[in-house]
């Protein structure tokens, strides 16, 4: 049975009115009494109904999402999830706006963050670029009391308050284990297709990938990273050239986007000569490629979960409440053609 405010009042030895004041952050409660109520809340595991509390206070949260604008299927899907949250705004008492900036453009991202600071919302969620100017802009927002959540790509060591995304080092390690097992004991070469080493998620995936291959599959050689900036045409050209130059190319790890171009290049290769391919994000293109045998495995993250998590965290930070780490953990899904949802 869920604990109630009556249970809190009984354990803390206070009135229901006092519990209500503490739960809703109202004045008129002595520090010692407030501490007793907070301890009772913690011991009971009472979960505050923020929606009801804020409905009573007439509060509406203002959040800004800063997203990259490019032809990246996953980022397009992420934007749709934010738009879906905007449709729920009247129920969830939020007012959300989306700012779009060119992908991998640090100055444009800094300018967007500074623009947000001129009319501060309650919180900001952004797909981060790991660059000093971005860190400084995030720090200014945090100093101004604005909650900041990074999405998909983190800015660890910065003043951001939370990261909503998968463990990208673990994702890279998982990809390497899959690659090594698919290749078995072949003394082969593997190409890595990335978007940009400017973003932490791509660097961390590469780090995890290289560490496992060097430790557990030393017979596999890694070719220089191909950076396509998540552009399908650039990815197609880079992969086509790699396949031409490296006849013994046994595997490709696509750790970013641009997979439509990768798939077009793979269609030019005879089925018996195609490399093992592991990619990220289950999109229409990667789903079809799994079914067609162009891609062997896809690592996926739930964009909807990430957006909902970011909103929950921004609300909690705005209210000065703790974040429930277990609820906000984003899992890594592994899809083969046999277990597609």
| pLDDT (0 to 100) of residue 46 | 80
Enumerate the H helices of the chain as residue ranges. 5-12, 16-23, 31-44, 50-57, 73-87, 89-92, 106-118, 132-143, 168-183, 200-216, 232-245, 259-266, 284-292, 303-318, 325-328
> CA 236 to CA 239: how far, in whole Å?
5
CA distances from 16 to 12, 19, 24 (A): 10, 5, 12
Q: Quick one: pLDDT at residue 98? A: 97
Range 276-293 average pLDDT: 97
In the predicted model, is pLDDT for residue 283 greater than 90? yes
Torsion angles phi and psi, residue 255, rounded to 5? -95, 0
Q: CA 108, CA 126: separation in Å to the nearest integer?
A: 12
pLDDT beyond 90 at 300: yes
pLDDT, residue 3, reads: 84
Cβ 46 vs Cβ 7: under 8 Å: yes
CA 282/CA 288 separation, integer angstroms: 10
Q: What is the pLDDT of residue 53?
A: 55
Q: In the predicted model, is pLDDT for residue 40 greater than 90?
A: no
pLDDT tens profile 87-114:
998 888 899 999 999 999 999 999 999 9
Could you give phi then psi for residue 285, rounded to 5 degrees? -65, -45
pLDDT (tens digit, 9 = 90+) per residue, 110-158? 999 999 988 889 999 999 999 999 999 999 999 999 999 999 999 988 9
pLDDT of residue 239: 97
For the ranges 55-69, 138-152, 189-203, 254-268, which has the lowest average pLDDT? 55-69
State the Cα–Cα distance between residues 189 and 204, nearest whole angstrom: 21
Question: Which run of H or E residues covers position 222?
Answer: strand 221-222
Q: Is 188 helix (H, G, I), strand (E, B) or coil?
A: coil
Q: Report the C-alpha dihedral over residues 48, 51, 54, 56, rounded to 10 degrees.
A: -100
Angle among Cα 128, 129, 132 to the nearest 5 degrees reads: 115
pLDDT in tens, 20-36: 788 766 677 888 898 89
Q: What percent of the chain has pLDDT over 90?
A: 73
CA distance 273 to 202: 27
Q: Contacts for 335-341 with beta carbons within 8 Å, 24 or more apart?
A: 335/282, 335/290, 335/297, 335/298, 335/299, 335/300, 336/290, 336/296, 336/297, 337/290, 337/291, 337/293, 340/282, 340/287, 340/290, 340/291, 341/282
Model confidence at 54, pLDDT cuts 50, 70, 90, reads low
Is residue 106 within 8 A of residue 138, CB to CB? The reply is no
Q: What is the CA radius of gyration of the chain?
A: 24
């Amino acid at each position: 049975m869920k604990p109630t405010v009556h249970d809190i009042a009984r354990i803390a030895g206070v009135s229901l009115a006092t519990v209500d004041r503490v739960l809703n952050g109202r004045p008129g409660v002595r520090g010692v009494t407030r501490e007793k109520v907070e301890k009772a809340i913690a011991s009971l595991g009472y979960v505050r109904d923020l929606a009801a509390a804020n409905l009573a206070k007439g509060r509406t949260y203002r959040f800004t999402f800063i997203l990259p604008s490019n032809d990246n299927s996953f980022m397009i899907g992420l934007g749709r999830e934010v738009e879906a949250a905007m449709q729920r705004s009247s129920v969830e008492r939020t007012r959300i706006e989306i700012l779009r900036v060119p992908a991998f453009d640090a100055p444009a991202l800094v300018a967007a963050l500074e623009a947000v600071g001129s009319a501060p919302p309650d919180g900001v969620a952004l797909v981060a670029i790991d660059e000093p100017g971005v860190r400084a802009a995030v720090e200014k927002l945090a100093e101004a009391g604005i909650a900041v959540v990074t999405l998909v790509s983190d800015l660890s060591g910065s003043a951001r308050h939370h990261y909503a995304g998968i463990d990208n080092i673990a994702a890279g390690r998982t990809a390497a284990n899959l690659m090594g097992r698919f290749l078995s004991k072949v003394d082969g070469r593997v190409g890595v297709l990335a978007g940009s080493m400017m973003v932490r998620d791509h660097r961390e995936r590469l780090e995890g990938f290289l560490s496992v291959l060097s430790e557990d599959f030393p017979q596999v050689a890694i070719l220089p990273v191909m950076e396509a900036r998540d552009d399908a045409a650039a990815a197609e050209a880079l992969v086509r050239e790699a396949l031409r130059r490296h006849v013994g190319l046994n595997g490709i790890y696509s750790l970013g986007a641009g997979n439509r171009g990768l798939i077009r290049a793979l269609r030019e290769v005879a089925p018996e000569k195609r490399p093992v391919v592991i990619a990220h994000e289950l999109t229409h293109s990667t789903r079809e490629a799994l079914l067609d045998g162009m891609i062997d495995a896809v690592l996926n993250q739930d964009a909807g979960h990430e957006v909902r998590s970011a909103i929950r965290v921004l609300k909690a930070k705005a209210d000065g409440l703790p974040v429930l780490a277990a609820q906000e953990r984003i899992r890594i899904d592994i899809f083969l053609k046999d277990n597609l949802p």
